[in-house]
Amino acid sequence: MRHHPTRSMLLASAVALAITACATTTSPTGRTQVVGGVSQQQLDQMGDQAIAEMKTQKAQTSDARQRAYATCVTNALVRELPAAWQQRYRWDTAVFVDNTPNAFALPGGHVGLYTGIFTVARNQDQLAGVISHEIGHVIANHHNERITRQLGAQGALQVAGALLGSRYGQGVGDAAMQGGSVLAQAGFLLPNSRTQEAEADVVGQQLMARAGFDPRASVGLWENMIKASGGNRSPQWLSTHPDPQSRLAEMNQRAAALMPEYERARADGKRPNCG
């Protein structure tokens, strides 16, 4: 049986380079993060590939009003991002036909919603609570942090395969991933850690208040999600969030503190009217 030392060395080198390139940085809430397992360019490419793959797997809604509504909320939030994040991406929004109350955002500037989210996000402020939380994951570098952590774990070669596939050709990527997909191997749509989820709550509520969306709506959204779960395990979108009651208390406290910022935004003319 013939071996392929060049391919093996390439994979090993990719992992080694990724791990040695890691660095610490500070998240928007002041938490120390280990990132750098992938470059921003590679991360954006993976996000582009993941959303493209998603669009081949799931139908997008034909409801023009839903698309316009979701895009309007996304755009209002994006306008309040730091300049670097506004300039880096041309943010887009896709709405997929699926009754699951789910949402995500990806590096590359992609926001995705399932039609089921509209059953729990019942007004524009609650929808802003969903989308701002997901954008919070992107601007807090949670995807980079997650992949960097994966590179040091048992499945490192699989993650490296996703990177190598886009950089060195599909053949190398397929060999490393053994038929896996970017969605599965990079974990873009998998639940994040509780620390990351709690941090995205903080970033999201701050963002929605600056955009003129009521930060108190996140509490109502969470209550709707709990009801939708029927008291059983939380829906997929919230599967790794902190304890529901603790989270509600934290959101209520944060919303109260953010009300002056919300009121300033409204006074400055930031009054989204998305429907």
Quick: pLDDT tens for 201-253: 999 999 999 999 999 999 999 899 888 877 554 544 445 555 677 888 899 99
Asked which of 8-12, 111-115, 209-213 is least confident by mean pLDDT, the reply is 8-12
pLDDT score of 171: 39
pTM: 0.78
Active-site residue numbers?
A: 134
Between helix 194-210 and helix 244-267 the angle, nearest 10°, is: 20
CB count in 10 Å sphere of residue 182: 27
CB 125 within 8 A of CB 258: no
Q: Residues 6 or more apart from 29 whose CB is under 8 A from it? A: 140, 199, 202, 203
CB 177 within 8 A of CB 161: yes
CB 200 within 8 A of CB 251: no
Q: Residues 6 or more apart from 30 whose CB is under 8 A from it? A: none
Query: Cα(32)–Cα(46) distance, rounded to whole angstroms?
Result: 24
Q: Residues 6 or more apart from 56 whose CB is under 8 A from it? A: none
pLDDT score of 157: 46
| Torsion 189-193-197-200 (CA) sign | negative
Query: Cα(126)–Cα(218) distance, rounded to whole angstroms?
Result: 6
Query: Cα(194)–Cα(44) distance, rounded to whole angstroms?
Result: 24
pLDDT score of 242: 56
Q: Which residues is 26 bridged to in the sheet?
A: 32
pLDDT score of 48: 92
CB count in 10 Å sphere of residue 58: 13
Write the pLDDT tens digit of every residue in 119-152. Answer: 999 999 999 999 999 999 999 988 888 877 776 5
- Asked whether the predicted pLDDT for residue 175 surpasses 90, the reply is no
